A and B are shown apart, each in its own frame.
Chain A
Amino acid sequence: MIEILYLFLQIFSFLIFFLFPLNKNFLEKYFNDNNISIYDIYIFNFIIYSFIFLLTSFIKIQINIIFYTLIIIKTLFVIYNREKYFKYFNNNNDKKYFIFFIFCLLGISLQIASDPKLGWDGIAHWYYKASNYFQNGTYQELKDLPLAYYPHLGPYIWNIFWSINPLRLEYYGRIFYIFIFTITIFSASEKLSKKITFNTRLFITFILLVLIFDSFLISGYQEYFLFYLFYSFSLIFNFKDETKSKSLLIVFLLFLSSYLMFWVKQEGLFYIVILTIIFSFFYHKRNIIKLSYIMLMVAIVFISIKLKSYYHGNFSFNEPILNSELLKYLDYKIFFNTFYLISLEIIKAIIKYPIWMIIILFLTLRLIEKKKFFNKENIFFIIYIGLIYCIYFQTTMNIKELMPLTLDRVIFHGSGFFLIFIVKYLNDKLLKNN
């Protein structure tokens, strides 16, 4: 029973901890938007904390003492200002929606409590990093562990929430993946128009949850973290589009949500390139901002690569990006056969994560209706799918063995980018029918 009690406390600590530092009043004023939900606040604050956690991961620090202190201060602050926090919920339906959110969070968290086993990559790669920090190891000591060149931010945050729990059971740390997954779904669903009935909104939220949730991905994998960061980027971009805000905070949050990917998974570096292209094409016309953004991104990624090389001796991927085997594709038979195999596996992955069927359906319908091709979703879709082809064309490994194990997860990451688009498209359709 004590385990269940601590699970509730862990979730409570998430709900309180990530209410700060950005709050509703500040964000509404800064973004000039009155529709910022509590889930958006969690999304923004988690980005900021992830960046802080990234910085603390390089130094030896007793983070749990700081965490306990902050939790106590924040809880007292929320109790003292409870009236202000109740205003986060405009009406009864908002409160019900939050209750639904908490039950979903609890329900999914209990799934890892009842079966805490880690998946293959979870135990063979990521757990070692989390465990290193849990045993007071440093960033430097990661180099003695398996796959040292893999990024460490996910396992570091996993370690923080693992070590703050008095029972010190590993799975408590992984609840943060569930937290970011749930706030992503609810933040997106909350964008459904208030003119749509509450029950329909509940139903759509549940459908999204069912279509996107995969219990395998909470067994120590980093996929939900990347999914969340893709969503964050598109959410912030959406605020920019809707409010026409030129706030630098928006640029800063966009910057962080893409930069953090570098420290989550190796693919992150390529995702940064894609999101930077999206930023440079679709951010407003102030070229000085675009140019500064790109230059700063290149500089910070370069520094990060140097930092990794400094601590771990070198910066590498699973295999070199350019290799002599690429020349084999000059034979068109090999090229088309590989193309066919990758396409087949992409179709399988789309069936596995049916949210992609909805994405493709809505993108096609919009293209037919509006006949406007140049928008961020279409461009992202093309570059993203193009990247997947490049990855599997480039590898020297046997793709027939590699793809069934990895491609579905790579496909999954990108779906986060389209959640806002799905919800906005649904809004258009449902309101038109009403």
Chain B
Amino acid sequence: MLVKINKNLFFILFILFVLHYLSFFLNIFIVYKNNYTERMIKSSGYCDREGYGFIKYVIQKHKILDNPEVKNFSNIYPPVYGYFYDIKKNSNSKYIIIINAKNNNLDYFKKQGFLIIDSKNNNCYLLKKT
């Protein structure tokens, strides 16, 4: 009887160890506490990194009906517009979203005739061609 309990105890402890190694309980807590968008913003950034949060915000707020171009001026991050790409929408949009932009980047677009429609944190902008 004691041997059987010991065997099961070892197995239970082993499973607990593996679950801890895989951060099982921490991940349950994270998923429980934060919804999908919050988790995506945590890992892909709002106006920083890939700018996931800002892209999602402007697409919803401004009800953009086509697929705007997204330009991330920090080229160490992948282009995340794919998350919002709609195959039914037109890709020749008048809008452009710029992330991690510096003043000179913004000046370039202004000279090209773009207007600022929305912006956050002075580094991400929604621009529209006039």
Residue ranges of A at the interface with B (Cβ–Cβ < 8 Å): 1, 3-4, 7, 96, 99-100, 103-104, 106-108, 110-111, 113-120, 123-124, 127-128, 131-132, 135, 137, 141, 144-145, 169-170, 199, 202, 206, 210
Contact = CB atoms under 8 A, between A and B. Distances in A.
A210 B43 CA distance: 24
Given A96-B11, A116-B39, A111 B79 contact: no
Given A100-B14, A100-B15, 18 more contacts: A3-B36, A4-B32, A104-B18, A107-B22, A113-B27, A114-B26, A116-B40, A117-B43, A118-B80, A119-B78, A123-B80, A124-B82, A127-B83, A128-B82, A131-B82, A132-B87, A135-B86, A206-B14
8 contacts: A100-B15, A103-B18, A107-B22, A116-B43, A123-B78, A123-B79, A128-B82, A137-B87
B44 interface: yes
Contacts of B31: 3-4, 7, 110, 113-114
A20 to B, nearest CB: 28
Contacts of A7: 31
Contacts of A137: 87
Contacts, number: 91
Contacts of B30: 114
A249 B102 CA distance: 62
A141 B23 contact: no
Nearest to A142: B87
B15 A99 contact: yes
Contacts of B57: none
Nearest to B31: A113
A141 B22 contact: no
A107 B18 contact: yes
Contacts of A124: 78-79, 82
A169 B40 CA distance: 12
B22 A4 contact: no
